[in-house]
């Protein structure tokens, strides 16, 4: 079978041919299953790290408008189940692509350069390790709201800067560098979250 033949499968409802990636059967209009496509294609986007967030949201909303289970409330159980699978797949794609860290890791995987973000293993990069330890200590020891606000802002800025570097590495086609910076992004993001949490706690403690 050629790729073209494989691109056609029977519609579950009218049993006729339908393109495998179609959302709806072009003959009977029945909603189809989500199919195995990457997150970018699912949302009709080009696979790139530099996503326009407004466009991502627009695409996501557009697909959800047509596929969300609320659109199928009066339909048959099968159609309701398929729309739920579709909406679930859209949510997964949206959640992955919305977040720079998840997006970078996902794109690396698509490009065949896997990074394991869930591994809570040790930091291999000694420079990164030192930097992390120092900054974490500073956050834990911040005593005034001014100090923690400054540290939190700095941590956010580090994240933003790293995101720019990740983007540059992808654009230069340097996947090793992109992978290294993505690991770094993971730690910087965590640090920024810690700073934000501590800032929230300290602000709350004020009268």
State which residue, 14 or 161, has the beta carbon closest to other proteins.
Answer: 14
The residue count for the chain: 207
| Cβ-contact 180, 168 below 8 angstroms | no
Position 160 contacts other proteins (CB under 8 A): no
Candidate segments 87-95, 132-140, 160-168, 173-181, binder of other proteins by CB under 8 A = 87-95
State which residue, 61 or 137, has the beta carbon closest to other proteins.
Answer: 61
Residues 6+ apart with CB under 8 A from 185: 100, 101, 104, 159, 162, 163, 166
- Token pair belonging to 172: 């230069």
Q: How far is the CB of 133 from other proteins (least distance, A)?
A: 23
Site for other proteins in 22-81 (CB under 8 A): 22-30, 42, 44, 58-59, 61-66, 68-71, 73-79
Largest CA distance in the chain: 72
- How far, in Å, are 154, 168, 189 from residue 161 at the CA level? 10, 11, 11
**SS3 of residue 31 by DSSP:** strand
State which residue, 85 or 128, has the beta carbon closest to other proteins.
Answer: 85
- By the criterion CB under 8 A, which residues form the site for other proteins? 2, 4-5, 7-8, 10-11, 13-19, 21-30, 42, 44, 58-59, 61-66, 68-71, 73-79, 84, 87-88, 91-92, 94-95, 196-197, 199-200, 203-204
């Amino acid at each position: 079978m050629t790729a073209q033949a494989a691109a056609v499968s029977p519609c579950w409802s009218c049993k006729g041919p339908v393109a495998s990636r179609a959302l709806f059967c072009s003959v009977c209009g029945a909603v189809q299953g989500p199919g195995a496509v990457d997150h970018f294609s699912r949302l009709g986007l080009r696979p790139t790290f530099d996503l326009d967030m407004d466009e991502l949201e627009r695409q996501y909303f557009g697909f959800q408008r047509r596929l969300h289970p609320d659109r199928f409330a009066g339909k048959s159980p099968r159609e309701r189940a398929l729309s739920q699978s579709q909406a679930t797949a859209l949510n997964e794609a949206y959640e992955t692509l919305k977040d720079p860290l998840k997006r970078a890791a996902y794109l690396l995987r698509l490009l065949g350069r896997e990074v394991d973000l869930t591994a809570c293993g040790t930091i291999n990069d000694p420079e990164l390790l030192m930097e992390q330890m120092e900054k974490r200590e500073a956050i834990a020891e911040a005593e005034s709201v001014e100090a923690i606000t400054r540290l939190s802002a700095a941590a956010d800025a580090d994240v933003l800067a790293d995101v720019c570097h990740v983007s540059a590495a992808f654009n230069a086609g340097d996947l090793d560098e992109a992978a290294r910076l993505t690991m770094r992004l993971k730690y910087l993001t965590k640090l920024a979250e810690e700073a934000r949490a501590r800032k929230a706690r300290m602000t709350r403690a004020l009268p």
